A and B are shown apart, each in its own frame.
Chain A
Amino acid sequence: MSPECLMLQPMVTEIFERILFIWAIRHPASGYVQGINDLVTPFFVVYVFEYIKEEVENFDVSSLQEETLRNIEADSFWCMSKLLDGIQDNYTFAQPGIQRKVKALEELVSRIDETVHVHMQQYEVEYLQFAFRWMNNLLMRELPLRCTIRLWDTYQVHTHTTNTHVRTHTYCARTHTHTHARAGTHTKHSHAFTQIGTFHSLSATCVYYSPIVFFHKTLSSGGHQSLSVLSSVACTSGSLSLNLCLSAAKSNEPVPQHH
């Protein structure tokens, strides 16, 4: 059961085209930047899931009623717009928002996991080379879709809490990363980090950092409010709340896999 298959249906492509086109002309400072399409997907999937009773693979989006489809489209558009309101500088010239977040990630890793940080410095791996996409697509490409949806849900649910959660996340990430760092030291003398295969395990390591940074940044940049609004938009739009919908995708928790 993977909701990814929905995205290839022609009807869905048309809906996305309209959403992204309208958003792009309403935001001339950034326009459409590749990857923004990924930020519509979780909302769209959550809204469409309400109507899926069978296996996702067998579901034909065009079988839905015209009005239902229009509502899903509008809901997805407004949720995505709200989300982007807080992170527009990710997509304007030179993408300062992303640069800043990648820098924050680097700073965070250097502080809480020096081994990993030094290792990357030693092999001249720049954080921008692997973390850029995480920030540009809000982790949409790095995890299975249902896991990403689950993760996004957490960002939103936890907006009312304070730094305790940031700390918890940090602690979590730290534990995971220590395991990875230890695995990393075995390959230290093999230039492994300059080899392609290792970029994958490297990503796996740092996936656990980026949510923290994103979460932290959202809190500190006033995103707090916009995310609350987003949650309420989701709740009042006539569909299920994000939370409830997401429980439909509960079967796979984003449990970290160690190799």
Chain B
Amino acid sequence: MLHMPLLSLVTFVPLLGAAIIFFIARGPEEVIARNARWMALWTTGVTFLLSLFIWFNFDRTTAEFQFVERVEWFPALQISYHMGVDGISMMFVLLSTVLMPVCILASWDSIQDRVKEYMISFLILETMMVGMFCALDYVLFYVFFEGVLIPMFIIIGVWGHGERRVYAAFKFFLYTLLGSVLMMLALLAMYLQAGTTDIPTLLRTDFAYSMQIWLWLAMFASFAVKVPMWPVHTWLPDAHVQAPTAGSVILAGVLLKMGGYGFLRFSIPMLPEATEFFTPLIYALSVIAIIYTSLVAYAQENMKKLIAYSSIAHMGFATIGMFTLTTQGVQGSIFQMLSHGIVSAALFLLVGVVYDRLHSLDIDRYGGLIRNMPKYAAIFMLFMLASVGLPGTSGFVGEMLSLVGAFLVNTWVAALAAIGIILGAIYMLQLYRRVVFGKLEKDDVKRMVDLSPRELAMFAPLILLVLWMGIYPSSFIEVMDVSVANLIENYELALEARDGIAVAGR
């Protein structure tokens, strides 16, 4: 097992699948579509199984990067194809590979137009996402990070179902690109300082304080748009509403985590002094995001928009948690991102289920679904409560730990963020009441049928994970434990070293 390039396999098997679909034998439209669907499902399934090998062979006692692969790429420039995972990134790899087969299943019937291209786009997207979490070279990371834009742009623009899908696709692309290009300059500046783009080396490189500030801001431009943080979040509701269901699932489930992961992998450990300087900014933006977007979510009449705004609020907990730089806070933050990845993905799937039947996202168009769709109502309730943060579900653990971390460093931030939890309960319960409870009056709503076996199959793994993460979180926390401890220790050492120099200088 150790001699197999496991990470490269997980990264590039989807691309191989995409290539096979691309060259699939010509024939009638339906045959091609059917083959593309099955091929995509098989590919993502195999990728998921391969990624399980990472989970089982992962050494939980070390903070070192594991499954490391290294091949010369730009020999003269010290840029190499370098892959590896630690306790932080490994979970995100699994999150991506878990969600992909679910996405393919979710698109099984709802996508009828250009199925082949659709499946190719999703498989390319998976390669980019997994590659990004595994990359241990900054240039390689950047290539994957920005490469995500191309398939996502196509997915929103071609298969999106809103009237403003073109606008949303452009907004998504240009917003993210604007942030990313600034990060590219930061990347180059770091490369010229350190002489390499190797991430483990960069983690050990000290940058001057004045330089750190600029580098931090450049990276912040990129990651804050991805997370997204207030006030650069406006692309997200548009993109979510217009994207096809599976596109929303990937957007909320994985793409937002790329920003949080970026903070954890680059900003915090590489630029500790600047991180300390900017922490109040992050707190302020996150608290505003939590309260403001929760209120906005409450006012929404569109289901997808409501969940999109709730995503921004939930990611606010994650950013607060990670910048507390306490064990609980950082673990809570990662846990919150994983939990949100699954819960919001499931919520978007749930919206997709009713959208497939009624082709409307208006909350008012529904009501009383509990009578004709009991299974649906039950599953919806589970994920709604997970989103609210009910104990026993994954949402509780993430929010709880993040808030404990926040309390340790700043009571005000914690108190204000806690308001967000209450607001979250208000708008989610309200949504649930209006869609599921009430009288079943509308004729077209009455005709809606309950979940099909395919739909149950796509929810089953998510239900399992939400409960597992909520009831026995240790099996996930122990994976990240050492890596998080290492992150915090290095951060504190860096600050101490600076203070030591300052004292000596006096």
A pairs with B: no
A residues with a Cβ closer than 8 A to B are: none
